[in-house]
Amino acid sequence: MSTYLIGDVHGCYDELRALLKQVSFNPEQDILWLTGDLVARGPGSLDVLRYVKSLGDSVRLVLGNHDLHLLAVYAGISRNKPKDRLTPLLEADDADELINWLRRQPLLQVDEEKKLVMGHAGITPQWDIETAKKCAREVESVISSDSYPLFLNAMYGDMPNNWSEALSGLARLRFSTNALTRMRFCFPNGQLDMICKDAPDSALPPLKPWFNIAGPVAREYTIVFGHWASLEGKGTPEGIIGLDTGCCWGGSLTLLHWEEQRYYVQASNRQSTLAEKVPPQQSAS
């Protein structure tokens, strides 16, 4: 059995299937991990969801911010933006089935045997692993419930941006959602900055990429994340792995074969809007 981890697919169905063909992925014996943002921007969001859903227990994924946005659009809370290219999915005969499957997926994956953790945006340095699991389960419980549109209507916003166990209700859920699906930069104390989207070397002090602030989870686990295409899979500390290499922007889709510690790359079918990509070179240990 092999474990394969792939960065943000963003509707790039053809590239996903080509990348899995490179490694002879066999869903009957292999496990596929996906960093979230399955949909939006690429042309094949409907095909991606249908395929990933068909994999059943062979896939372990986390929801990303674009996946949550799709849920909000389908619930009539957010606008369907043409650039997201979601209309074929929204109008599909099996859209309701796919949406209900999607909203029952997790925001966090933890493998204690491999000491591996995956969140779409990463893990805030303010959390230990038990807090991360608890907060993820709280959000998942609401999204999978019949009252999920109420949460989706309230999830947009940048505050609160500092973790406290005293947080409750929608404020607590919003912080957890932002930390797991939108986070990039933090202040030195771990407080989230939800405004800056610059490349890591362009952000003004005192902001730092979340992965450059010591946290308890990174001391015990390898952390795998997506979300940050401009990183191009580079520049993270040992034991923290960014797999989003901007396929939907003309970059590439990147896969890590966990057992072999080997990277595979599938170039985008779209005209490049980013610099030419190369496989990330950091250690996955």
- Domains of the chain in start order, with CATH, are 3-267 (3.60.21.10)
Q: Among 11, 66, 3, 2, which residue's Cα sits nearest to residue 224?
A: 3
For a pLDDT cut of 70, what percent of the chain falls above it? 95
The percent of residues above 90 in pLDDT, for the chain, comes to: 91
Q: Residue 141 in contact with residue 134, Cβ under 8 Å?
A: no
Torsion of CA 136, 209, 197, 267, to 10 degrees: -80
Q: Is the pLDDT of residue 283 over 50?
A: no
DSSP, res 213: S
pLDDT of 272 > 70? The answer is no
The confidence band for 75, taking pLDDT boundaries of 50, 70 and 90, is very high
pLDDT tens, position by position, 135-194:
999 999 999 999 999 999 999 999 999 999 999 999 999 999 999 999 999 999 999 999
* Residues in contact with 97: Cβ distance below 8 Å, sequence separation at least 6, in sequence order: none
pLDDT at 271: 60
DSSP letter (8 states) at residue 236: P
- pLDDT in the model for residue 201: 81
Does residue 26 surpass a pLDDT of 90? yes
Distance CA 63, CA 78 (A): 17
Q: Average pLDDT of the chain?
A: 93
The mean per-residue pLDDT over the stretch 31-44 comes to 98
Flag whether pLDDT at 94 surpasses 80.
Answer: yes
Tell me, what's the pLDDT at 202? 82
How high is the pLDDT of residue 39?
98
Task: Indicate whether this model's pTM tops 0.75.
Answer: yes
Confidence bin at 213 (pLDDT 50/70/90): very high
Average pLDDT over residues 99-103: 98
